[in-house]
Amino acid sequence: MNKLIKYLQYNEKESNIYLPNEIFKDLSSELEGSSHIAFAYSYYYFISWLYRYSKYGQFNINIKQIKEVLGYSPNSKEINYIIKKDGVLDQIGYTFSSTDYPIAWAFNDGEIEFTMFSDLDLDLRKILMHQKGRNYKVKVPVKAFWRDKISEEEGILDGTFYDIRNTHHISFDVFLECMSNKELGCTGFYLYGYLKYKCQWHDEYNSSFENIGMSCGVSKNTAEKYLNILLQNGLIQYNENPCRIIKGEYKKEPNTYWIA
């Protein structure tokens, strides 16, 4: 993976990505199994980053490389139903395939603008088609442009590239740290993202392992395991709150978490 990131020429100015807060509910209601939910979340984050910083236009990036970054074998088929054409992410309006992709990006009056493959003259398009292949396709992160079908149909750019209300932010450095650590991977990144979402209003979040798991579509044991690994790696912090008497019985208060 380090080789690919070096190939993609990541720098600290390319760190910011915002994801829609509704992604947790949308994925956990459509997918079963914590590993597949976490994969879908991490995949959507990564393709959003690739699109936002015009990496598709600069380099030849294929699905095998993306799978490898996310901790899967390049030839793995178990998660294809999530990311293929008309797969789960396409069906729920999070992605679609396109032969058009960004070559470069810039800000114009504070709003991002992309120079697309289709904007180039014929000679430049031919050069890129020769490099990438005539059928080169990318996945477009739909929620980055339109938050719902109405805004898409009306051409209103209210997605996370343009409006960061009701979003949560995760730096690409955290993504790299999770993907570089086999103990964390997609599931650790997914639970980090959930805590980032929950902590952004009050800087901290009180919840039990059971409630976090239910909200994310993972088991209590999975939530506990990966939150502890996030703690061990310094990505989150917590306070273990004391017991208190409720109706004559000692009850343990949920832990308080915050982002390190």
Confidence of residue 189 (pLDDT cuts 50, 70, 90): very high
The values of phi and psi at residue 197, to 5°, are -60, -45
DSSP the chain: -HHHHHHTT--GGG-EEEEETTHHHHHHHH--SHHHHHHHHHHHHHHHHHHHTTHHHHS---HHHHHHHTTS-TT--TTHHHHSTTSHHHHTTSEEEES--EEEEEEETTEEEEEEGGGS-HHHHHHHHHHH-TT--EEEEGGGT-SSHHHHHHT---STTT--TTEEEEEHHHHHHHHH-TTTHHHHHHHHHHHHHHHTTTS-EEE-HHHHHHHHT--HHHHHHHHHHHHHTTSEEEE-PPEEEETTEEEEPPEEEEE-
Looking at residue 118, its pLDDT comes to 96
Whole-number pLDDT of residue 252: 66
Whether residue 251 is predicted with pLDDT greater than 90 in this model: the reply is: no
Domains of the chain: 16-154 (no CATH), 174-259 (1.10.10.10)
Which percentage of the chain shows pLDDT scores above 70?
94
The larger pLDDT score, comparing residue 216 to residue 248, is at: 216
Residue 247's pLDDT band, with cuts at 50, 70 and 90, is low
The predicted-structure confidence for 118-173, as pLDDT tens digits, reads as follows 999 999 999 999 999 988 999 999 999 999 999 999 999 999 999 999 999 999 99
pLDDT of 113 above 90: yes
Helix axes 185-199, 34-52, angle to 10 degrees: 80
- For residue 201, the model assigns a pLDDT of 83
Q: What is the mean pLDDT of residues 170-195?
A: 96
**Total-model pTM:** 0.94
Q: What is the pLDDT of residues 27-81, one digit of tens each?
A: 999 998 999 999 999 999 999 999 999 999 989 999 999 999 999 999 999 999 9
Mean pLDDT, the chain, rounded, equals 93
What pLDDT shows up at residue 249? 67
Please give the pLDDT value at position 6.
77
Q: For residue 196, what are the CA distances in angstroms to 57, 148, 169? A: 30, 23, 7
